[in-house]
Amino acid sequence: MKRVFWTLALALLVLAGAAGVLLLRELRGEGGGAGDRPSVAQAAADAAPTAASAASAPAPVAAPVGAATADLRARGAYLARVGNCMGCHTARGGAPYAGGRAIETPFGTLYGPNLTPDAQTGLGRWTADDFWRALHHGRARDGRLLYPAFPYPDYTHVTRADADAIYAYLQSLPPVAQQNRAHALRFPYDTQLALAAWRVLFFTPGRGDGADADPARGAQWNRGAYLVNGLAHCGACHTPRNLLGASQADRVLGGGLIPAQNWYAPALDRASEAGVAHWPREDVVALLRTGLTRAASAPPAASATPQASVSGPMAEVVLRSTQYLSDADAHAIATYLQALPERAVPPTPDAPAPPRRLMQRGAEIYRDHCAQCHGAQGQGERGAFPALAGNRAVLLAEPTNLVRMILQGGYAPATAGNPRPYGMPPYHQLLGDEDVAAVATFVRNAWGNHAAAVDNIDVYHVRDRR
Ligand code: HEC
Ligand code: HEC
Ligand code: HEC
């Protein structure tokens, strides 16, 4: 008995010691921070076009840092859009990239810092190496560990050449003097020690040299993989997270509730959710660049399937980022998404038919409030209002987005392909929880649709968490 105790105690001590050493390395920056700052020679080698960046548009330029050419800046501007840097680093109505936008997380609120080249409050004093360290290692110029609400666990896969282009672009912006807002995180998440522990557990810096490409796949697939899992950070929303906010490595792009935002980002590898393997490639490209598939925008003759349009956070992604994708990159992303192996769906018991009274009430609400746009048969109207019949966004097992949409309404993104999107009014004041549950249940079970009924309590939770 005693021996077992002492062996266990010793084992624990060794473990604690090892954890301590790792934490210290993290805090001091030896595990991939200042210690492995690239030398000038290394940086030059890194800046050479690699397999992954060779296909990027416009053509990559291996310019020495400091002598940023107009081409390099233009490429940086394009890449900053692919990464949607503006999204988190611009306050509503504020100067572009000057920071101040609140990002809600389960651990508190963070504020995107100022990325303009102001010397006092922005990145004015940052070198290209400092910038690389932030994007690749998640460390600020002063060595501080950065919170992964800044999606560097994805950006760490970006090549040095692409990072340098983004740096050149940001440094060319007009400097804006705007002090960064302090984050408001709860203890213990506000400590560097907690962050260091998180990183030991969940963060592995990428290679960042483009050499992790899969030679067995074509250049297009590789370019798509590079964008989806790197700069475009699709997994930041579409990969489920664990309780500590880390992406679950075994369920990449498998669909997840976005913490604190209360939207469900559906699985990109399941046809029943957001998988696109069976779509014509042009529809995937259309969804990324216009926010709608061709069937949803074009007159009936063009194409009958699939009908889909983006909403909520995905509408923002299309608005700020994917609508600007070059033709080549949009096709590359589509190629990659379509090649994702279909994830098996665990068999779920068939949902019982909802109570008749609920369906009747839902039908009345639908007729009074929804049918004028979405049609008496849920057929929608091409180019204006999405069909609800057969719409997988309506049928998701997780009803959060449907309830969100009814409570909050929203706009499809304004894009070149859909310049004046129609909007949907919010119903949070007009309809009580029971009404919303009834109409949601109705649209999930009318016109051949079939999905589990929505409870008052589901609506209550969505409303409450707003
Ligand atoms: C989802 C939101 C989000 C996106 C998208 C995002 N950032 Fe950030 N970024 C943050 C947050 C939050 C911080 C602050 C992290 C901290 O202080 O620990 C941050 C910090 C940074 C920093 C460190 C700045 C400093 O003063 O310490 C840099 C540099 C940066 N981001 C660059 C970028 C670039 C470049 C992109 C686009 C490729 C980008 N960010 C996209 C949220 C985001
Ligand atoms: C900020 C979070 C976020 C990011 C980043 C994000 N998505 Fe989404 N995405 C969502 C949400 C939420 C939905 C569900 C709402 C909807 O259907 O539009 C969604 C829906 C989708 C759909 C299904 C659309 C439909 O109507 O069938 C596709 C496809 C998709 N995303 C692809 C992507 C790709 C590719 C990327 C990376 C380029 C990406 N998403 C990045 C949040 C995100
Ligand atoms: C004035 C016209 C209008 C009315 C009335 C209206 N909607 Fe909508 N609805 C829209 C538009 C436009 C969109 C697309 C918005 C977007 O993409 O963000 C939409 C989107 C939706 C979506 C998301 C579909 C998808 O593919 O992601 C659902 C679900 C929905 N509406 C349900 C309803 C219900 C239920 C009602 C009645 C309570 C209703 N709508 C009333 C115009 C309307």
Chain segment 39-63, per-residue pLDDT in tens: 333 333 333 334 344 344 444 444 4
Best substitution site from 285, 297, 314 to test ligand 2's pocket, by max atoms within 8 Å of Cβ?
314
Residues of the chain with pLDDT > 90, as a percent, come to 73
Best substitution site from 79, 88, 97 to test ligand 1's pocket, by max atoms within 8 Å of Cβ?
88
pLDDT interval class at 347 (50, 70, 90) = confident
Distance in angstroms (rounded) separating the CA atoms of residues 392 and 89? 32
Q: Please report the pLDDT score of residue 260 as a whole number.
A: 83
Q: Please report the pLDDT score of residue 23 as a whole number.
A: 72
pLDDT interval class at 106 (50, 70, 90) = very high
What is the number of the ligand 1 atom nearest to the C-alpha of 134? Answer: 29
- Domain borders along the chain are 38-202, 219-339, 357-464
Task: For the chain, give the mean pLDDT.
Answer: 87
What is the number of the ligand 3 atom nearest to the C-alpha of 427? Answer: 38
Q: Please report the pLDDT score of residue 326 as a whole number.
A: 98
What is the number of the ligand 3 atom nearest to the C-alpha of 370? Answer: 37
What is the 206 CA–ligand 2 centroid distance (Å)? 24
Provide residues with CB under 6 Å of ligand 2.
Answer: 228, 232-234, 236-238, 258, 263, 265-266, 268, 274, 276, 287, 308-314, 317, 322, 333, 337, 393, 401
Distance in angstroms (rounded) separating the CA atoms of residues 275 and 345? 12
Distance in angstroms (rounded) separating the CA atoms of residues 162 and 51? 12
Note whether 331 and 281 are within 8 A (CB): yes
DSSP states of 293-327 as a string? -HHHHS-TTS------B--HHHHHHHHHTGGG--H
Q: Please report the pLDDT score of residue 289 as a whole number.
A: 97
Which residues, other chains included, contact 262 with Cβ-Cβ below 8 Å and sequence gap of 6+?
400, 404, 462, 465, 466
Give the residue, 211 or 6, on which the prediction is more confident: 211
Q: Please report the pLDDT score of residue 262 as a whole number.
A: 86
Given a cut of 80, whether residue 121 has pLDDT beyond it is yes
Encoded amino acid at 373, one letter: C
Least confident of 73-77, 93-97, 309-313, 415-419: 415-419
Encoded amino acid at 211, one letter: A
β-partners of residue 105 are 108
Best substitution site from 305, 319, 377, 405 to test ligand 3's pocket, by max atoms within 8 Å of Cβ?
405
Alpha carbon nearest to ligand 3 atom 36, residue: 370
Q: Please report the pLDDT score of residue 43 as a whole number.
A: 37
Alpha carbon nearest to ligand 1 atom 31, residue: 150
What is the number of the ligand 2 atom nearest to the C-alpha of 316? Answer: 1
The helix, strand and coil proportions of the chain, stated in percent and rounded to the nearest 5, come to 45, 5, 50
Give the residue, 297 or 192, on which the prediction is more confident: 192
Note whether 241 and 248 are within 8 A (CB): yes
pLDDT interval class at 284 (50, 70, 90) = very high
Q: Please report the pLDDT score of residue 306 as a whole number.
A: 83
pLDDT interval class at 14 (50, 70, 90) = low
What is the 314 CA–ligand 3 centroid distance (Å)? 15
What is the 272 CA–ligand 3 centroid distance (Å)? 20
What is the 269 CA–ligand 2 centroid distance (Å)? 12
Best substitution site from 86, 221, 238, 263 to test ligand 2's pocket, by max atoms within 8 Å of Cβ?
238
Q: What is the mean pLDDT of residues 6-25?
A: 61
Given a cut of 50, whether residue 38 has pLDDT beyond it is no
Q: Please report the pLDDT score of residue 40 as a whole number.
A: 36
Q: Please report the pLDDT score of residue 11 as a whole number.
A: 54
**Bond from prior residue into 38 cis (ω within 30 degrees of 0):** no
pLDDT interval class at 267 (50, 70, 90) = very high
Residue in 203, 114, 101 with CA at minimum distance from that of residue 151: 203
Q: What is the mean pLDDT of residues 116-126?
A: 98
Q: Please report the pLDDT score of residue 59 as a whole number.
A: 43
Residue in 454, 224, 416 with CA at minimum distance from that of residue 323: 416
Rg (CA), the chain: 24
Q: What is the pTM of this model?
A: 0.90
Q: Which fold has domain 357-464?
A: Cytochrome Bc1 Complex; Chain D, domain 2 (1.10.760)
Q: Please report the pLDDT score of residue 66 as a whole number.
A: 52
Distance in angstroms (rounded) separating the CA atoms of residues 380 and 395? 16
Q: What is the mean pLDDT of residues 389-404?
A: 95
What is the 413 CA–ligand 2 centroid distance (Å)? 13
What's the angle, vertex CA 376, arms to CA 375 and CA 377, rounded to 5? 90
* Contact 393 CB / ligand 3 (< 6 Å): yes
Note whether 111 and 180 are within 8 A (CB): yes
Q: What is the mean pLDDT of residues 245-264?
A: 92
* Contact 405 CB / ligand 3 (< 6 Å): yes
